[in-house]
Amino acid sequence: MTIKPIETNYAGCRFRSRLEARWAVFFDALGIAWEYEREGFDLGDGLYYLPDFWLSKSHWFVEVKPVSPTGQDLLKIRRLDDNPPFPANGVVVVIGTPEPFGIDEDAVYDPTTGAYMGSVCCPVGNIASLLLRSEADPFDIPPIENAVRMARSARFESF
């Protein structure tokens, strides 16, 4: 049996899943500007890819996955990450809902794909500083804890 995601409305966007909407809440709580499914890409060889988010200030694409990406997903992510359109830095992959702290720095970066794997809200390691490039200190724990709390407790409209 396949579990179907629930399409969800948040901030005037129709998200394909509640998980994606939760990440939008997380980004909003941290003041991270985002665009949902901004642009799709023809990666060649019949592969097409539509990243979930574009973070305009830090210039990263973010792909949200409920579980570890499949081989096909990783191929698409790697292709875009290896040759991102200007001014993009590449692709960050987040898995599951925003989580409290505790992910080890070494568990975040996957050198085989060049993608960042795991929860973005980890206060240690590279991923938080990548996405939180702003005036605020990316390792400022109270705002991150608040963003996690807001994302995990958000209630949404369904379609």
Question: Which domain CATH number covers 83?
Answer: 3.40.1350
Q: Which residues span the domain enclosing 136?
A: 8-158
Number of domains in the chain: 1
Percent over 90 (pLDDT), the chain: 30
Percent over 70 (pLDDT), the chain: 71
Taking the C-alpha atoms of residue 72 and residue 83, their distance in angstroms, rounded to an integer, is 17
CB 55 within 8 A of CB 28: no
The amino acid at residue 127 is I
Q: Is residue 1 part of a domain?
A: no
The per-residue pLDDT for range 51-106, each reduced to its tens digit, is 999 988 888 898 888 887 888 998 998 889 888 898 888 888 887 888 765 444 44
Taking the C-alpha atoms of residue 8 and residue 10, their distance in angstroms, rounded to an integer, is 7
Q: Which two tokens stand for residue 90?
A: 């590449």
Taking the C-alpha atoms of residue 49 and residue 40, their distance in angstroms, rounded to an integer, is 6
Q: Is residue 2 part of a domain?
A: no
Helix (H) or strand (E) holding 15: strand 13-15
Q: Residue 49: its pLDDT value, please?
A: 95
